[in-house]
Amino acid sequence: MLRKRIITVLTLNDGTLFRTKLFKPDYRYTLNFVDAWSVDEIAILDVTRGDHPDRDKFFKAVSEFARTCFVPISVGGGIRKLEDVARYMDAGADKVVINTGAVENPHLIEDIAGAYGQQCVVLSIDAAKTDDGYEVMSHFGAKPTGHDPATWAKYGEALGAGEIMITAVERDGALQGYDLGLCAEVAKAVSVPVQVLGGCGNWQHMTQAFEVPGVSAACTQNIYHFTEQSIASAKKFLAGKGVAVRA
C-alpha cells in the first residue's frame, strides 16, 4: 500500500538554514539536524530575498546535501525559466517547487512538465484568508494575485503540475495545526497528490491532515521535528492512529 509521507522542509537564506514564522526569519540551525533515515522526502527552498539574489551558496548547500541524501529531494526558490530547473536538477534535485514563477508565467509549468515529466513539478501555493475565502499570494506570501487557491491548483494541474503543495500563510510557524478547510478545498479540486504545509505543531496535526481526502504528504518545517528520532516518533504516533506510514 502507498504510504502517507512526512516531508521535512528546509528553508535556506543565503546558503544557511533558516526557519520562518509568518514568513519572516526566525532563527538558525544546521543541516545536520535532519533525521535523514526516517524522513520520507525533503524539500529545500531558497528564501533569499532581493531582485537578483546570489544563488551560488544555495546551489552549493543543495549539492553537498544531495550527495549523501538517499531520499527524494524537491528544490525550489526563484525558478523563472527552464534553465533554472536544469541547474537545480544538476545540483541533485529530483523535483522542483515553483510558486511565484508560475504565477508570473503559468506556462512555465507546461515547459517543465514537457521536459522533465509531470512528476517533476510541484506547484507551491501560498494562500491567505480573505473576507470571503482565500487568495493566492506570490512573492513569499506578500503579493495578492487575485486567484482563488482551488481554481489556481486546478489550472496548474491542467498545465502539468504533478503535485500541489498548499500553505496557509497565516499558519506559517504558528504551530497551531494546518488550515484543514483550505487543504480540503484544494485537495478536492485536483486529482494529483497534495502536500500540506504551514502550522504543524504536533503529531496530532499530521493525523488531522491525513484525514483530509487527497492529502498524501504532511510537511513540517518545525525545528523541533528535525531532532534525532523525532520523525520516527511521529510515525509511531501516526501508525498508532491507523495512518499507513513508512516505519
Partner 1 sequence: MIGIIDYGLGNLRSVLGAVEKLGQSGVISANPGELSGCEKLILPGVGAFGDGMGNLAARGMIEPLNKLVRLDRKPILGICLGFQLLAETSEEFGAHEGLGWIPGHVKRIRPGTDALRVPHVGWNDFEKAGDCILFDDIPDPALFYFVHSYHLETDPGITVGTCTYGRPLCAAVQSGNVFGTQFHPEKSQQYGLKVLQNFLERA
Q: Which of 34, 35, 40, 101 binds partner 1 (CB under 8 A)?
A: 40
Q: Which of 53, 80, 87, 92 binds partner 1 (CB under 8 A)?
A: 92
Q: Considering only residues 198-217, where is the footprint of partner 1 by CB under 8 A?
A: 213-214, 216-217
Residue closer to partner 1 (CB basis): 51 or 56: 56
Residue 94 within binding range of partner 1, rule CB under 8 A:
yes
Cell 491507523, located at residue: 242
Residues 247 and 165: their CA atoms lie apart, in Å, by 23
Q: What is the 8-class DSSP label of residue 206?
A: H
Q: Residue 95, Cα to own-chain centre: how many angstroms?
A: 11
Residue closer to partner 1 (CB basis): 2 or 146: 2
Q: Which of 44, 91, 186, 231 binds partner 1 (CB under 8 A)?
A: 91
Cell 481554481, located at residue: 151
Question: What is the size of the binding site for partner 1 (CB under 8 A)?
Answer: 40
Q: Which of 45, 93, 97, 209 binds partner 1 (CB under 8 A)?
A: 93
Residue 95 within binding range of partner 1, rule CB under 8 A:
yes
Residue 90 within binding range of partner 1, rule CB under 8 A:
yes
Q: At what angle do helices 149-159 and 107-116 cross, to 10 degrees?
A: 40
Residue 242 within binding range of partner 1, rule CB under 8 A:
no
Stretch of 53-61, 124-132, 134-142, 187-195 contacting partner 1, by CB under 8 A: 187-195
Q: Considering only residues 131-160, where is the footprint of partner 1 by CB under 8 A?
A: none
Measured CA to CA in angstroms, residue 213 lies from 30, 53, 162 at distances of: 34, 38, 17
- Cα torsion 16, 216, 228, 202 to 10°: value is 100
Residue 2 within binding range of partner 1, rule CB under 8 A:
yes
Helix spans in 30-174 (H): 56-67, 82-90, 100-104, 107-116, 149-159
Backbone angles phi, psi at 38, to 5 degrees: -95, -25
Residues that bind partner 1 (CB under 8 A): 1-5, 37, 40, 63, 66-68, 70-73, 89-95, 113-120, 162-163, 191-193, 213-214, 216-217, 246
